[in-house]
Amino acid sequence: MKVGVVAVQGDVSENVEAVRQALAVMEVRGEVSEVRRGAAVKELDAIILPGGESTTISKLIRTKGIFSEILALSRRGGAVLGTCAGAILLADEGDDQVAKTSTELLGLMSMSVDRNHFGRQRESFEAPVKMEPLDRDFSGVFIRAPGIREVRGKCAARGWLEDGTIVAAEQGNCVGLAFHPELTKDTRVHEWFLKRVV
C-alpha cells in the first residue's frame, strides 16, 4: 500500500508519522511519502490533504498538478482524506469566505462547509468527537477549524460534537474531518481511513 501526504503546507510530518503508526497497529505493510508534484499521485492508493490555509493549498496543488491527480485518484477508487483545510477543499460548496478568496474546491464530497466555523486561531480547542465508526469518542483538536454545515446525497455525517455540529463526513472513499487526528497519539481515525485501501 502506498499513501501520500500533500506536502505544500500544513501538518505534513505529523500526518506522515500518524500513517506510519496506524499501519504498524494494523500490521499492514505500506509506505508513506510526501507529495510535492502531481506525478507522484499516480503511484498512490491513498492521499491526505492536511490542514493549513485552504486558499493557499488550493492554489499550490493546482500549480503543481496535484489537483487534477487527486480527482483521478478518486475516480480510480483511491482514498482521499482531508483534515481541517483539506476538508474544505473536498467539499462541493463553501461559504462566503471561500467565494471571496476564489478558493477552488475539489468537489469530491456533497457537503457544505463554513471555513472558520469555530472562530480564529485563538479560539482553538480540544473536544470529544462522537465518531460513528469508532468504539468510543475521539479527542478532536480544532485549530481555526471549519464546520460541516450540511451533507447531501451520498455524503454521510460520521462525527459530531456534543452540540450536534457535524465535524466528520464520508462519501465513498473520501473522508472530510474538521479536526486534526494527526495531533493526537490515537491512530483510530487514520486506521479507519486506511481500511478503504487495505
Q: What is the pLDDT of residue 144?
A: 87
Q: What is the pLDDT of residue 78?
A: 97
Q: How far apart are the first and last CA of the chain?
A: 7
Q: What is the pLDDT of residue 119?
A: 67
- The string of DSSP codes covering 90-126 is HEEE--HHHHHTTPPP---EEEEEETTTT-SGGG-EE
Q: Residue 41 half-sphere exposure, CB side, CA atoms within 13 Å?
A: 27
Quickly tell me which residue has 506536502 as its cell: 7
The catalytic residue among 69, 155, 174, 180 is 180
* Residue 190 is among the residues annotated as catalytic for this protein: no
**CA–CA separation, 78 vs 23, rounded Å?**
17
Domain range list for the chain: 2-194
Q: What is the pLDDT of residue 140?
A: 96
Q: What is the pLDDT of residue 120?
A: 67
Q: What is the pLDDT of residue 101?
A: 83
* Beta bridge pairs of residue 172: none
What would be the CATH architecture of the domain defined by 2-194? 3-Layer(aba) Sandwich (3.40)
- At 76, give phi and psi (nearest 5°): -90, 10
The catalytic residue among 155, 182, 190, 191 is 182
**CA–CA separation, 108 vs 91, rounded Å?**
6
Query: What pTM does this model have?
Result: 0.95
* Residue 34 is among the residues annotated as catalytic for this protein: no
104 burial (CB, 10 Å; 0-12 / 13-18 / 19+) is middle
Interior angle at CA 144, CA 143 and CA 149, nearest 5: 110
Is residue 61 within 8 Å of residue 67, measured between CB atoms?
yes
The catalytic residue among 84, 155, 174, 191 is 84
Consecutive 10-residue averages of pLDDT for the chain (198 residues): 94 95 97 96 97 89 96 97 95 84 92 83 86 95 92 98 96 97 97 95
Q: What is the pLDDT of residue 37?
A: 96
